[in-house]
A and B are shown apart, each in its own frame.
Chain A
Amino acid sequence: MYSKGLAPLAAAAAVTITTALALVFFYAPNDADQGFVQKIFYIHVPMAIVALCGFVAGGVFAIRHLRSGDRSWDMRSYVAIHLSIILGLAVLITGAIWAKASWGHWWLWDEPVLVSFLVVFLLYCVYYPLRFSIEDPDRQARYSSVFAITAGAFVPLNFIAVRLAEKYTHPRVLSQTGGSLPGEMRLTFLVALAGMALLFVTLWKLELTAKHASIQLKRLRNRARVAA
């Protein structure tokens, strides 16, 4: 069920990422102030965007799960959130590396996107203990979906609040996305974003396929055991 289209998707992801890497290293110009290190931006920001979309998607799948009672939606939600948490960790790490390399500090409270991410990450980390402390599978799925929806609604609210709270004296340094990018940087960025998104969806499908297969296997084993 999930493995439909997996091969072409994986191929597309591989192609896009390779292109993106090529663009990053050979096409995009070195930043005047920050030098080569600025290129982390092409990983950091796409990861952040994809992770956020992943969290929101997790919330949307959770809504479908609660409405239909169909546990496969919960599985989709779980995998989306699970992958986004891993991405989120990478966002924080690459953000810190970039901050240290460019500004000499491992962390910047002035950077609202990074700070919001930290809060979101801390929140979603609770997903695992919450989920796995509930034994009954039906209930586990339901409560996880409630969490996914609550946390999904929280993400935008959090961004708004943190952005409003930033001190106006410091300019936003890391978030030079989209709008004000010169041509070459913009193209590279967009390709990197597409590559990251394709990679995420590929991994998502891959994990779902694997989980689905292992569930089918368990079912067959159970049936064999009962029949014996």
Chain B
Amino acid sequence: MAAIELERLERRYGERVALAGVSVRVEEGQTLAVLGGNGAGKTTLLRVLAGLLRPNGGSARVLGAELPGERWKLPAQVGYLGHEPLLYRELSGRENLRYHARLHRLAPARVEQLLGAVGMEERADDPVRDLSKGLIQRLAAARAVLHEPALLLLDEPRANLDPAAVELLEPLIGRASGRTRVLVSHDVEGALAESDLTLGLRDGRPAPVGAELYR
């Protein structure tokens, strides 16, 4: 059974078509790179896969769950690293992660383990609003993989990260993690290098990957 099966997926906002005719099949452990210009629908696609948006047409199965009916099954198995870090600014990194750990019913030890893995032990007790974007991104990545999700949805995951941090996060969110991944990136070459499949989007519809995509 494939990790992701989309068949002519459609998502509209009133009259405007955000996604249409998107069909793709991603096997477990594979990485899908989604490429396209601004407003092409890449983030919309990620949000549908995360269960945040419900599809208006076509069919979608993510990790065995039919969308939209079985969306409730997704949060436990999906890790989302998007534009917003989804961390409470007044709480510390440790408090944020502990909160998510409680929601997923994980032991506090897991939080400590991840804080170490992303190199945040020293500043784990500083409020998030005092941290630089790079450190926030590290915490966001930790939050995304806290519950060991089978599927990772990554929207520009390496934004704001220095090379050391990129290396640190590789086993968690990179190819090496072994998880099924959907990757959105503007670094076309980098994305192509680390993915098994590609999907180009233009105005919400599938389009061949090339210079045309960014017109």
Contact = CB atoms under 8 A, between A and B. Distances in A.
* Direct touching of A and B (C-beta under 8 Å): yes
Contacts, number: 8
Contacts of B14: 135-137
B6 to A, nearest CB: 20
Interface residues of A, number: 5
A135 B13 CA distance: 8
Interface string B45-70: 00000000010100000000000000
B43 to A, nearest CB: 15
Contacts of B13: 135-136
Nearest to B20: A226
A123 to B, nearest CB: 27
A36 to B, nearest CB: 52
A138 B53 CA distance: 11
Interface residues of B, number: 5
Contacts of A137: 14
Interface string A50-86: 0000000000000000000000000000000000000
B204 to A, nearest CB: 13
A207 B56 CA distance: 27
A136 B12 CA distance: 9
Interface string B1-27: 000000000000111000000000000
Nearest to A137: B14
Interface string A210-222: 0000000000001
A136 B18 CA distance: 12
A221 B13 CA distance: 17
Contacts of B15: 222
Nearest to A222: B15
Interface in A130-175: 135-138
A135 B56 CA distance: 16
Contacts of A222: 15
B30 to A, nearest CB: 31
A136 B13 CA distance: 6
A168 B54 CA distance: 55
Contacts of A136: 13-14
Nearest to B15: A222
B72 to A, nearest CB: 15
B114 to A, nearest CB: 34
Contacts of A138: 54, 56
A222 to B, nearest CB: 8
Interface string A114-140: 000000000000000000000111100
B148 to A, nearest CB: 32
A136 B47 CA distance: 15
Nearest to A69: B68
A226 to B, nearest CB: 9
A84 B54 CA distance: 33
A203 to B, nearest CB: 27
A61 B178 CA distance: 49
A222 B13 CA distance: 14
A95 B15 CA distance: 43
A137 B54 CA distance: 13
Given A136-B14, A222-B15, 6 more contacts: A135-B13, A135-B14, A136-B13, A137-B14, A138-B54, A138-B56
Interface of B: 13-15, 54, 56
Query: 5 shortest A-B CB distances, which residue pairs?
Result: A137-B14, A136-B13, A135-B14, A136-B14, A135-B13
8 contacts: A135-B13, A135-B14, A136-B13, A136-B14, A137-B14, A138-B54, A138-B56, A222-B15
